Homo-oligomer: A and B are copies of this chain.
Amino acid sequence: MSERKSFAIGVDLGATTIKVGIIGKNGNIPDQLSVDSKANKGPKVVIQQIIFAVQELISRHKISECAGIGIGSPGVISNVDGTVQHPPNFADWTKVDLGKEIRKAFKLPVFIENDANCAAIAEARYGAGIEFKDFLFVIWGTGVGGGIILDRKIFHGPYGGAGEIGHISIDYNGRKCNCGNFGCIESYIGQRYLSQRTKEILSASLKDGTHSKIMDLVGGNLNKIDPAIISQAAEEDDPTAIEVLTEAGNLLGYALSSILNVIDLRVVVIGGGISAAPAFVYKAIISSIRERILKPHKEGVRVVRAKLGNNAGMVGAASLVL
């Protein structure tokens, strides 16, 4: 960030919500707001929503103090022409020059980066990754995404799309993933699958009359099960919750072993909603990596929880403005 300016604007573009924040030089967030993304209305409407949110936020602050706007966006950000390609769950969006559109609207520098990469950058600069020069960042939530940090910088790969770790297949004959491939780790441990798997186990055990803490937590409504509920039940020693999360941790460890073998990384930082899971899940991930990774790569394997929570994407986006 420019020495003279006191803040940058970080935009976290999600399929449901656009979060916009004033980010200070230390990664602090003195002000933020969010608006509906209207992702089903097509790219023009989404761009209007971003512009509206940024205008609203800027109106509360001195624009002369703003160094620029950083945007974290889902999809592949081409490092040839900077376009945003195929963001999942955005209607009619094949290839859009988002940076150009936002630059037109504001007389400020605009930078754009993949959302998972933004979160990885934020963890590298201000979060759990500060002490590691190289690490794999994993976003474990609705889906599974990631970012590769090499020498404290994002590794983009030759075309800008590196880090798609949710689409490592752990079983070529496995379950069909939304991406069209089979056995992608995302289709085993993403939010929907975890909730579904828990429901299945509970439905079976309910027939036996077995009691579960999960049922208490959702007031008997199986459709209310989500990873936060499963985590809470696991903390209260519920066996189903522990089973589901341990299994997910093991599977994630298997996928990570393959990736760590290929890139020879040793440290994994896990963010996203499900990263709030209890410590035993991290133990499952680490032990399955240690069991499966190549012998010379075993030394120094670490798996740690991210620190910046939901704001990582916004903070990382703002920190692109340098």
A251 contacts B by Cβ under 8 Å: yes
Report how far A291 CA is from B169 CA in the complex, Å: 13
Give the chain B neighbours of A76 by CB distance below 8 A.
Answer: 296-297
- In the complex with contacts A167-B261, A169-B258, A297-B161 CB distance below 8 A: yes
The B-contacting residues of A in range 272-302, CB under 8 angstroms, are: 291-297
- Give a binary string over A149-167; 1 marks a CB under 8 Å from any B CB, 0 the rest: 0110000111111111101
Q: Residue among A86, A158, A265 with the most chain B CB within 10 A?
A: A158
Closest to A291 in B: B180
Q: Taking chain A's interface residues, is the majority helix, strand, or loop, or is none over half, making it mixed?
A: loop
Report how far A150 CA is from B79 CA in the complex, Å: 15
Q: Residue among A75, A163, A262 with the most chain B CB within 10 A?
A: A262
Give the chain B neighbours of A172 by CB distance below 8 A.
Answer: 170-171, 251, 254
The B-contacting residues of A in range 291-315, CB under 8 angstroms, are: 291-297
Instruction: Indicate if the CB atoms of A264 and B158 lie closer than 8 Å.
Output: yes
A sample of 27 inter-chain contacts (CB < 8 A) reads A75-B296, A86-B295, A86-B296, A134-B157, A134-B158, A151-B158, A157-B263, A158-B264, A158-B265, A161-B294, A161-B297, A164-B264, A164-B297, A167-B258, A167-B294, A168-B262, A169-B170, A169-B292, A170-B171, A171-B183, A172-B254, A179-B294, A179-B295, A180-B295, A181-B257, A181-B293, A258-B258
A85 contacts B by Cβ under 8 Å: yes
Closest to A259 in B: B262
Q: Residue among A163, A170, A251, A265 with the most chain B CB within 10 A?
A: A170
A173 contacts B by Cβ under 8 Å: yes
Instruction: Indicate if the CB atoms of B158 and A150 lie closer than 8 Å.
Output: yes
Told that A158-B265, A172-B251, A263-B263 touch, could you supply 6 new A-B pairs with CB distance under 8 A? A162-B262, A164-B261, A167-B258, A168-B261, A171-B183, A181-B257
Closest to A85 in B: B296
Instruction: Indicate if the CB atoms of A158 and B171 lie closer than 8 Å.
Output: no
A266 contacts B by Cβ under 8 Å: yes
Listed from nearest, the 4 A-B pairs whose CB atoms lie closest are A157-B264, A134-B158, A161-B264, A76-B296
Give the chain B neighbours of A180 by CB distance below 8 A.
Answer: 291-292, 295
A61 contacts B by Cβ under 8 Å: no
Report how far A21 CA is from B13 CA in the complex, Å: 56
Q: Residue among A157, A254, A264 with the most chain B CB within 10 A?
A: A264
